[in-house]
Chain A
Amino acid sequence: DTAVSQTPKYLVTQMGNDKSIKCEQNLGHDTMYWYKQDSKKFLKIMFSYNNKELIINETVPNRFSPKSPDKAHLNLHINSLELGDSAVYFCASSQAWSHQPQHFGDGTRLSIL
């Protein structure tokens, strides 16, 4: 069983559309994250949730809205997609919110046409 799974794996859509990416972890971890990795491979944290509560909210356009229905799930909704949103989005989880290794999903490659 995959520990951290994201869907979809690929997402190709047009500018202005709204899309969602889902993430689920079956590791029993308390903390989940969303990262954005651009074409230069820079890995930037966007959000972090601990037990369904938002604990990290980096400078991200408010078109991006995370939602954690329970501690095993963290979804990411993006409104009014822009060309600059093209990237690979990684979900990750860790056992606790500090000093713990992070387990990453396979990533969602988002391409905006």
Chain B
Amino acid sequence: GQQVMQIPQYQHVQEGEDFTTYCNSSTTLSNIQWYKQRPGGHPVFLIQLVKSGEVKKQKRLTFQFGEAKKNSSLHITATQTTDVGTYFCAGDANAGKSTFGDGTTLTVKP
């Protein structure tokens, strides 16, 4: 079955440092979505990427979809304490079933 692997599982950074989480799929994806879950909260949709090589930005967040549509990354520039949480990618290879990665939990030291 489809597998979506996400690394690293945990990342601790000093406030102001950059952060990147990577998502790799065992199969070609039709699209990939990114979600953020704050501590004690629920996953919240951030963005969806559909095209090969697509790059989208949301303020300090940059999302990329690989050329082969099998990998993706989320990069945060100059992290802030409000960035803490767990970031999930979710890949859709078979219509109707998005497979979530295991998440990357980010902690930011002020």
Contact = CB atoms under 8 A, between A and B. Distances in A.
Q: Which of A40, A45, A98 has the most CB of B within 10 A?
A: A98
A50 B96 contact: yes
Interface of A: 31, 35, 40-45, 48, 50, 55-56, 90, 92, 97-99, 101-107
B48 interface: yes
B103 A98 contact: no
Contact of A99 (B37, B42, B44, B95): B95
Given A43-B100, A56-B97, A104 B92 contact: no
Q: Which of A43, A56, A92, A107 has the most CB of B within 10 A?
A: A43
B30 A99 contact: yes
Contacts of B50: 99
Contacts of A44: 100
A10 to B, nearest CB: 12
Contacts of B31: 99
Interface of B: 30-31, 33, 35, 37, 41-45, 48, 50, 86, 88, 90, 92, 95-100, 102-103, 105
A32 B39 CA distance: 24
Given A98-B95, A99-B30, A101-B33, A42 B102 contact: yes
A97 B95 contact: yes
